[in-house]
């Protein structure tokens, strides 16, 4: 599946063509710092293989490669809430360092959010951002998300406790 956007940006289901591009791009401590601790660091060729194989089982897909001008530039994905929280989907995204500042993440978040509301029966899509990651907060705001909450002292990264900023986009609200 390919979701085409503007400016040569596409969301593409993970496939073998991404394998050798993924691990060198993803193996960056600056990216890992802004993601959950479950994100491997260092990111190895084995992690890339596992990720691509893991994502081939979802129908409809919940995680996509972000491509810019036909090359892997990052990743975007979601996880649906469980049980009574099933009306929610949480998204996460990252873009390789050489692609920062080009508007790629903003376009990817817009495309992905529209896709989630089209394919899944959810009422809200949200993202949680560490307090030091102002760039991702800006991406979400440019993509139409609004600040919803600040969870005080909600995370610990490298021994430092910080606040978690939550952004949301509600179905049918502009």
User: What does pLDDT average to in each consecutive run of 10 residues of the chain (174 residues)?
Assistant: 86 93 95 94 94 90 95 96 96 96 96 96 97 97 98 96 98 82
Q: Does residue 114 fall inside a structural domain?
A: yes
pLDDT at 166: 98
Residue 103, C-beta contacts closer than 8 angstroms, at least 6 positions apart: 7
Report the alpha-carbon distance of residue 135 to residue 120 in Å, rounded. 28
pTM of the model: 0.94
Q: Does residue 159 fall inside a structural domain?
A: no
Indicate the Cα dihedral angle 106, 107, 113, 119, nearest 10°: -160
Q: Does residue 168 fall inside a structural domain?
A: no
Q: Does residue 48 fall inside a structural domain?
A: yes
Q: Does residue 55 fall inside a structural domain?
A: yes
- Which CATH number characterizes residue 116's domain? 3.40.630.30
Report the alpha-carbon distance of residue 112 to residue 138 in Å, rounded. 17
pLDDT at 174: 61
* Strands 160-170 vs 146-157: parallel, antiparallel or unpaired: antiparallel
How many domains does the chain divide into? 1
Tens of pLDDT, residue by residue over 25-44, are: 999 999 999 999 999 999 99
Report the alpha-carbon distance of residue 167 to residue 124 in Å, rounded. 10
* Domain of residue 37, residue span: 2-127
């Amino acid at each position: 599946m390919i979701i085409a956007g503007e400016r040569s940006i596409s969301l593409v289901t993970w496939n073998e063509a991404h394998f050798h591009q993924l691990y060198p791009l993803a193996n960056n401590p600056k990216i890992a710092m802004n993601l959950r601790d479950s994100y491997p660091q260092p990111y190895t060729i084995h992690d890339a293989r596992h990720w691509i194989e893991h994502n081939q089982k979802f129908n409809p897909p919940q995680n996509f490669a972000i491509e810019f001008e036909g090359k892997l530039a990052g990743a975007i994905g979601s996880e649906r809430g469980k049980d009574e929280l099933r009306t929610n989907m949480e998204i996460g995204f990252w873009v390789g360092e050489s692609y920062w500042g080009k508007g790629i993440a903003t376009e990817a978040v817009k495309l992905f959010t529209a896709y989630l509301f089209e394919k899944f029966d959810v009422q809200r899509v949200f993202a949680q951002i560490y307090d030091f990651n102002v760039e991702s907060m800006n991406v979400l705001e440019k993509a139409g998300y609004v600040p919803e909450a600040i969870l005080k002292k909600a995370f610990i990264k490298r021994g430092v406790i910080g606040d978690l900023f939550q952004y949301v986009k509600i179905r049918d609200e502009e």
